[in-house]
Amino acid sequence: MNWKLACYGNGFTALRAALVGICLTQFAMARDRGHDASVETPGDRNERIANEFARTALLFDLDGEPAWRNRTLSAALARSPDSGPPNWHLGRVQVGGRWRTLPQAERLAAAQRDDYRERRNLAGNNVEKLFELAQWCGRNEQADRAEVHYAQVVLHPAASPKLRFAAFQQLDLHYINGRWIDRRQAERLEQQFLAARESIERWREPFQEWMKDLASNHNARRQKAMREIAELSGVDVVPIMELCIVGADEPFQQLLIGRLDVMPEHEATEMLVRYALLSPFPTARAAAAKALSTRPVHDFVPPLIDSLTAPVQLQYQVTRDASGTLRYTQVVAVETQQQARIMVRDQFAVRSVQTHGRTVGTLAPGESSTTYAGTEEPLYHLAMFLDAMDTQQKINAANYQEAMRCLPIFEALERGTGIVLPRQASAWWEWWKHQNAMAVTKPVLTSYERSVTSYFDNYDVARGAVPSRAQGSVGVRGRARVIAPYRRPSSCFVPGTLVWTEAGRQAIESVQVGDRVLSQDPDTGELAYRVVRLTTQAPSAAPGLIRLTVDGDQVNLTESHVVWIAGRGWEVARDAFPGMSLQRYAGTSVVEQRETLPNPPLVHNLVVDDFHTFFVGQCGLLVHDITPRQPTRAVLPGLIPAPE
């Protein structure tokens, strides 16, 4: 899609954009047509017009006209001084209910910030003092910092159950769909649910009529239904389409997939993924997967990749030590993209020798056991072997079912990306790792189970025979995969990279949890300070380092780090070349030079609350934090293309 055509509308040229900039008053009057003045206050009208001016200013920015951009934003601000978009795009933030420039905001925050930092330094890593710090933040209108420090207490290894529970209560978490989320996320989910329910009720009857008409023998009714379906647009109609995955026939699903294909919203992408995986019709699944191929891979690949699992691996063995104790060890390994689980089960059969009518046990002091009279060593070997065979058969059945479940996922990945790889989860994880320059290590969750039994050996000690060591073993089936203990992205910054914080610009390695950094919402363009929830420091695993020169300032970042390219959105730094415009603080600037440098030994990054963005360098380059980027249709922060 051409971003100029999408943003400007049909026939909107740079010359016409300039005319709009010159004739802002006439433009505002034209925008008033179609609005009911009787239900709109003068303040609302001015705010609406100011927001339209702000949108026009961003169009000038895309067209390489910074002077017209700033002139239009100034006119918008004069029209409505309290409107958000003009202030955000001019680089102002709201502090204490008033709009401030960054130097003003930094001065106003100085006293509170310095007091907080002093208390944070005193708390250190002491869990009780961190709890007190969180309480102090809550009392002093710093709820964002309080939340961060309560979370630190919950995760602190030295926290007592009582303290952890008290901190957990303060976080106001809700357990929904198998995970803990905060109140804001819960409210958003509730709003989405209510909107989806309302949409389904509104569209249920029309969809039922269309399905009847398409199934009828009346050609005129079929044609009418097809025309009406072809006019569907907007995310409002998407929820009802999910009910049609199992409730509609193949031709009707094809029509809906065709409509989803032309809807640019992310909700339509998510629905195409569902059709590609869940439709009972192979042709419908193929059509949905093909429709995904026109969309950014980061919009649909992550949920597909995350749904894959590797086959369950089993390893087992029976050994016997010099004392005659039999040990049956079973290891089951399950791997997903995010983590691995290893379950170890040890069963010990302690040898009890029957000699002269007396049982001589070999249990350790305090060990408990269950004795099975008459059970001998060969029978125990056989029992363990049969148990292993039974477990292996169950795993094989589970692996087969999982392979069938993953088959449409592989098909959707192949058609959506145009990449053909072995249909193995590990192959696609490896490909995605290289796409994002990830260091492939994963957390391993290990569980251990131990039980003890005993068996009788009718052996006469007087004979003097000594059992051989490690006598016999049952063959191994499969191999548990060796998995590294941690997984992290490697898109980061070198030490010394300046971050725009509430205290001014400071080196990224000096930024701490609880500090506030300047951040921007990609969808709305909102500019605000947001708290740092996590800092990372690790050896670099990225292929290389990129140096971008913007406005005479050099910014060094790993080639896989995400920057905002004007007109395209989030892209990795290796795709930014001289002549391209990058989003920075209050505007865009052209990349003047691009260099490739050796990889540094150590890199740093942040996790920023809410928007997950921050600004770096003297030029104030907008970058994403270390978390996965969220899909957005914006071509500039706050500028989403108009529907075609």
Min mean pLDDT across 109-123, 240-254, 338-352, 571-585 is at: 338-352
Higher confidence at residue 586 or residue 463? 586
- If DSSP codes are grouped into helix, strand and coil, which group holds residue 48? helix
Q: What average pLDDT does range 132-146 have in this prediction?
A: 96
Helix (H) or strand (E) holding 17: helix 14-22
Tell me if 609 sits within 8 A of 499, measured CB to CB: no
> Which pLDDT tens digit goes with each residue over 230-275?
999 888 999 999 999 988 999 999 999 999 999 999 999 999 999 9
Q: Is the pLDDT of residue 555 over 80?
A: yes
pLDDT attached to residue 38? 54
Instruction: Say which residue the tokens 């700033």 belong to.
Output: 70
Higher confidence at residue 635 or residue 392? 635
pLDDT attached to residue 619? 96
Residues 6+ apart with CB under 8 A from 138: 146, 170
455-469, 480-494, 596-610: which is most confident: 596-610
pLDDT attached to residue 363? 44
Q: What average pLDDT does range 300-309 have in this prediction?
A: 91
Return the closest-CA partner of residue 149 out of 163, 162, 135.
135
Q: Is the pLDDT of residue 171 over 80?
A: yes
Provide the 8-state DSSP code for 390. Answer: H
Q: Is the pLDDT of residue 568 over 50?
A: yes
Going by pLDDT thresholds of 50, 70 and 90, the confidence category of residue 542 is low
Q: Is the pLDDT of residue 471 over 90?
A: no
pLDDT attached to residue 385? 76
Min mean pLDDT across 192-206, 286-300, 320-334, 558-572 is at: 320-334
Tell me if 525 sits within 8 A of 622, measured CB to CB: no
Instruction: Give 581: exposed, middle or buried? Use CB within 10 Å, 0-12, 13-18, 19+.
Output: buried
Q: Is the pLDDT of residue 141 over 50?
A: yes
pLDDT attached to residue 433? 82
Q: How far from each other are the two terminal CA atoms of the chain, in whole angstroms?
A: 10
pLDDT attached to residue 640? 92
Going by pLDDT thresholds of 50, 70 and 90, the confidence category of residue 438 is low
For the chain, give the percent of residues with pLDDT over 90.
57
Going by pLDDT thresholds of 50, 70 and 90, the confidence category of residue 377 is low
Write down the mean pLDDT value for the chain: 83
Concatenated DSSP letters of 158-215: T--HHHHHHHHHHHT-EEETTEEE-HHHHHHHHHHHHHHHHHHHHHHHHHHHHHHHHH
Q: Is the pLDDT of residue 616 over 70?
A: yes
pLDDT attached to residue 628? 85
Domains recognised in the chain with CATH numbers: 3-90 (no CATH), 102-171 (1.25.40), 183-295 (no CATH), 313-463 (no CATH), 490-624 (2.170.16.10)
pLDDT attached to residue 36? 53
Q: Is the pLDDT of residue 434 over 70?
A: yes
Return the closest-CA partner of residue 392 out of 331, 436, 457.
331
Going by pLDDT thresholds of 50, 70 and 90, the confidence category of residue 356 is very low
Question: How far is 630 from 266, CA to CA, in rounded Å?
Answer: 10
Instruction: Say which residue the tokens 């108009």 belong to.
Output: 642
